[in-house]
Amino acid sequence: MRNFRRALRRLPLYVGVSLFCFVYSFPFLWMVITTFKQDRDLYRLEGNPFLYNQPPTLDNIRLLFERTNYATFLNNSAVVGVVVVLITLVIAIPAGYSLARLAGRWGERAGILIFLVYLVPPTLLFIPLFRIVVTLGLQNTIWSLIVVYPTMTIPFSTWLLMGFFKSIPRELEEAALVDGYSRLAAFRRVILPLSMSGITAVIVFTFTLTLHEFIYALTFISSSAQRTISVGIPTELIRGDVFYWQSLVAAAVIVAIPVGIIYNLFLDRLVEGFTMGALKG
């Protein structure tokens, strides 16, 4: 009886949260419903649009992969993402370690300055960077994105890793140094293995950021075969006024849902980065 009363008292909470989540994620639900609709069903204005008045179909997804450049976009995004992750790790790991351990008092300040670079938006830089990309001859290739994206990913990743390295007790390295390891070897043998979860978060963050980026990809690349998903889907799959709605939204949810799931797994670590360490101690 007491349990029942407690459950009853919590009922408004559950109803409220469910309702909010339903409304909030409705665009995604609507996209999923649309993906499997036949044309005749979709463009029929009478009847409940949320139901399948005709049997659901996979034709729209087939059209997406067979008759559009979608697979190419996915491939380009994957290549850009992987290479940018590698560049980011190679540059941000030493930088984060340097700021956390070696740089002493000015390390903290330098870290904050690097973090502030993350706030410099692409919309301020895209015009001069367009000129630079043209001068370097990288225009219309995914290499332009590979060169430019680390400007967004290195600052935040360095900041995240700095916080992470700081949380590892100094004594561990000092013990390794006493054992006769060099500083580099201590870093490689002792610190890196302990930092795998932080590094994984950086990988996830960097990869999703490259998937999100829109304005550089729109500015630097105009040939379809070099486009990435964030620009390719909204610009290439909408032809003039003709919308292949089912394929278009299918293209969006196929990427959105997996990215959402993975992002969610690393959310706490990313929030730590965003709150600038204000919550520690």
Partner 1 sequence: MAVVDTPAEKRSGFFTGLADREEILAPAFLAPAVAYIILLVGVPVTLAIAFSVTDVTVGDTSLDFVGLANFRAVFQTPQFRRALVNSVVFTIAAQVIVIILANVLAVILAEDFRGKWLARFLIILPWATPISLGTIGWLWMLDSTLSPLDWVMVQLGLLGPGSLFGPSDHMNFLGKEFLAMASVTLVHIWRVLPLATVILVAGLTSIPNDLIDQAKVDGGSFMRILFRIKLPLILPIMAIALLFGIVFTFTDMTVVYVLTRGGPVYYTQVLPVWSFYTGINGGALAQGAAIALFLFPVLLAVAILMLQMARRMEVN
Residues 130-159 that bind partner 1 (CB under 8 A): 130-132, 147-148, 150-151, 154-155, 158
With CA atoms as reference, report the closest residue to 225 among 78, 103, 72: 72
Q: Which of 57, 168, 189, 236 binds partner 1 (CB under 8 A)?
A: 189
Single-letter residue type at 222: S
For residues 41 and 212, give the distance between their C-alpha atoms in angstroms, rounded to a whole number. 32
Which residues, 61 to 90, sit near partner 1 by CB under 8 A? 90
Interface region with partner 1, contact rule CB under 8 A, candidates 10-18, 59-67, 78-86, 194-202:
10-18
With CA atoms as reference, report the closest residue to 153 among 82, 74, 84, 77: 84
Q: Which of 60, 206, 230, 247 binds partner 1 (CB under 8 A)?
A: 230
Interface region with partner 1, contact rule CB under 8 A, candidates 17-25, 51-59, 63-71, 193-201:
17-25
Q: Determine, following the binding rule CB under 8 A, whether residue 21 of this chain makes contact with partner 1.
A: yes
Judged by CB under 8 A, the number of residues near partner 1 is 103
207: part of which helix (H) or strand (E)?
helix 196-212
Q: Determine, following the binding rule CB under 8 A, whether residue 275 of this chain makes contact with partner 1.
A: yes
Q: How far is the CB of 125 from partner 1 (least distance, A)?
A: 4
Interface region with partner 1, contact rule CB under 8 A, candidates 61-69, 163-171, 192-200, 250-258:
250-258
Report CA-CA distances (Å) from 2 to 5, 6, 11, 12: 5, 6, 14, 17
Which residues, 93 to 122, sit near partner 1 by CB under 8 A? 94-95, 97-99, 102-103, 107-108, 110, 112, 114, 116-117, 119-122
Interface region with partner 1, contact rule CB under 8 A, candidates 52-60, 61-69, 195-203, 205-213:
205-213
Q: Which of 74, 80, 84, 129 binds partner 1 (CB under 8 A)?
A: 129
166: left (phi over 0), alpha (psi -120 to 50) or beta: alpha
Residues contacting residue 29 through CB under 8 Å, at least 6 positions apart: 22
DSSP calls for 63-124: HHHHHSSHHHHHHHHHHHHHHHHHHHHHHHHHHHHIIIIISTHHHHHHHHHHHHHTTS-HHH
Q: Which of 20, 58, 200, 239 binds partner 1 (CB under 8 A)?
A: 20
**Considering beta carbons, is residue 57 or 266 the nearer one to partner 1?**
266
Interface region with partner 1, contact rule CB under 8 A, candidates 56-64, 65-73, 190-198, 243-251:
243-251
Residues contacting residue 211 through CB under 8 Å, at least 6 positions apart: 77, 81, 228, 229, 230, 255, 259
